[in-house]
Structure 1
Amino acid sequence: MKNLLVLLLVLFVQPALAAMEVIELNWRNADELLPTVQSVLGQDGNASAYGQKLIVNAPPAKIRELRELLTQLDTRPRRLLISVDRGGREQGALNDFSFDGTISGGNAEIKIGQGEVGGKDQVRIIRSTSAGGSSHIQQIQTNEGYAALIQGGQSVPIQNTWQDHRGNTHQQTDYRDLNQGLYVTATVSGDQVMLDISNQHNRLSGSGQINLEQVATRVSGRLGQWIELGAIGSEQNQQGRDILRSTSGQSSSDMQLRVKVELLD
């Protein structure tokens, strides 16, 4: 009788025991959905991400619930058209932005940065126009949830002074590269778009050393409308959205930076 009770107890508890399953996603990266998956599992299980696969350890009922939710979340990322507008007064060396992607035209193909990633252009330049020398608009395509990388830089003069063994003073002008990198990740919800912006750039100190500075911010706005990000100028503002201000050597710029996001599909 005792053995029968133990067997019945095991049979009753077994469905609630955790099981491990590997769930393969069709469109989304597992890292992208992992926070949502973990919140659904709660204390009943855990999950880890590996590429486009979720490794889930949870009761079968929870796994079934999770699979139903993933049918709604694992959707094809929407293609976005991101317009970047740089306008204002410019002096000295102008930062030229570049993008990772591939440009094709006729029989020619130009790769920029890392070019294609996984056989696809993660960021592709569509059109670049200038108006009156005071505004420069560049348009790129990217997938929703993927970071679009915008890189720029300028060479600044550094004056070096030294004396030779005879006591004569010499001066020499060297140039150092100051690089900037701007990552823009767009997420769409209805007619609203959320932009995660992270900026990393090198700043020239008074002693001639190059210091690395990083700033991150998040802004939101409507699809199809310009969103002001701040200024690229002679000083850095650590507050608000002035995340790309820099001055180095004899080169400076005073430009406004704004972004517009539109749906392509």
Structure 2
Amino acid sequence: MLKKPLSFAFFLIVLCTLVQAETTFIIIELNHRMAQELVPTIRPLVGDNGVVTAANNQLFIRADREHITEIQQLVAALDVEKHNHKISVSYDAINSQQQDNTSVQGSIKRGNISISNSRKLPNNAAQIQFEQNNTIVTQQNMQFVNVLDGERAFVKTGQIVPYTQEWVLLKQRYIQIQTTTNFRDISTGFAIRLSSLGTSSNEFELEITPRIAGLNTNGFVDFEELSTSVRVRKGEWFDLGGTMMNRDEVSRKILSTQSQAGQQSSTLKLSVEN
């Protein structure tokens, strides 16, 4: 009567032993990163029978043997000291103002009665003057933001705008998890996540995400679905405005500005200095 239960228990023991034999358990201690930050990156490598957990600066990994070396190499590449980088942002706005002036002068005489608003004109004559003045105002601004490798910095476009129904609809369209925001006026721009491509490389990857932020509050909304990534070299200027203007309606809304006096065009560029 006991043969079947004993056989089944023995089978489970053998199975567990085989599974453990196919995997290896290691503990990796980190020097520069919190262990929890690396878990999402490592998890796909541990295999179906593996597991990865974190506590403080230690990773606890059980993974397929053939993946252990790959995991150790990946952790070594990621566990590097984060550097602080300076991003220079150039914002140039060109505002074209047009002013039209029209004046009419004339003189008319009927019998002994003359009516005129100009002494220089003869009787029964008229003169129309049309004057057009164009003024171009150029505004140049530079801002500097510091950001740690792998973190985000907020690059503002310089515009403070009302939080209108149009913004509410854009938020509902692109944000999957809706949050309650009590914005009145907002600052617009882009969240920039900077990542170095290797310790000795002069190349960086920029993840660009449209963002709106409330004034005098810590609240902001990132349009994660509209994020895009580009690679830039140290010191070269990247045309942020030109790139994002053609990508999506939220970025166009952020970058398109119109003043009451005239049409405004602008350029928004950035450069990673160090």
Structure 1 length as normaliser, TM-score?
0.53
Size of the alignment, in residue pairs?
Answer: 192
Please say if 1:200 is aligned against 2:211. yes
Larger helix proportion of the pair:
2
| Structure 1 equivalent of residue 42 of structure 2 | 37
Deviations 1:49-82 (A, max 9, x none): 6775545343678557634542332010122121
**Aligned partners of 1:222, 1:180: CA distance in 2, in Å?**
26
Unmatched segments (≥5 aa) in structure 1: 93-131, 159-175, 203-211
**Aligned partners of 1:232, 1:69: CA distance in 2, in Å?**
32
| Structure 1 equivalent of residue 185 of structure 2 | 177
Q: Tell me the SS of whatever aligns to 2:31.
A: coil
User: Which structure: larger Rg?
Assistant: 2
Alpha-carbon shift at residue 245 of structure 1 (Å): 1.7
Out of 150, 155, 164, the position equivalent to 2:155 is: 150
Deviations 1:112-171 (A, max 9, x none): xxxxxxxxxxxxxxxxxxxx9532121222211111123454256x9xxxxxxxxxxxxx
In structure 2, give the amino acid aligned to 1:246: S
- Identical aligned residues as a percent: 25
Q: Aligned ranges for residues 234-249 of structure 1 at < 5 Å? A: 237-239=246-248, 244-247=254-257
Query: In 2, are the aligned partners of 1:186 and 1:193 still within 8 Å (CA)?
Result: yes
Larger strand proportion of the pair:
1
| Structure 1 equivalent of residue 144 of structure 2 | 139
Alpha-carbon shift at residue 11 of structure 1 (Å): 10
Sort the Cα spacing of 1:232 and 1:60 in 2 relative to 1 into closer, same or farther, 3 A. Answer: closer
Please say if 1:261 is aligned against 2:267. no
**Aligned partners of 2:56, 2:239: CA distance in 1, in Å?**
34
Query: In 2, are the aligned partners of 1:231 and 1:254 still within 8 Å (CA)?
Result: no
Query: In 2, are the aligned partners of 1:231 and 1:245 still within 8 Å (CA)?
Result: no
| Structure 2 equivalent of residue 75 of structure 1 | 80
RMSD: 4.6
Q: Tell me the SS of whatever aligns to 2:33.
A: coil
Structure 2 length as normaliser, TM-score?
0.52
Q: Aligned ranges for residues 5-154 of structure 1 at < 5 Å? A: 13=18, 16=21, 23-30=28-35, 32-48=37-53, 54-58=59-63, 66-67=71-72, 69-90=74-95, 134-151=139-156, 153-154=159-160
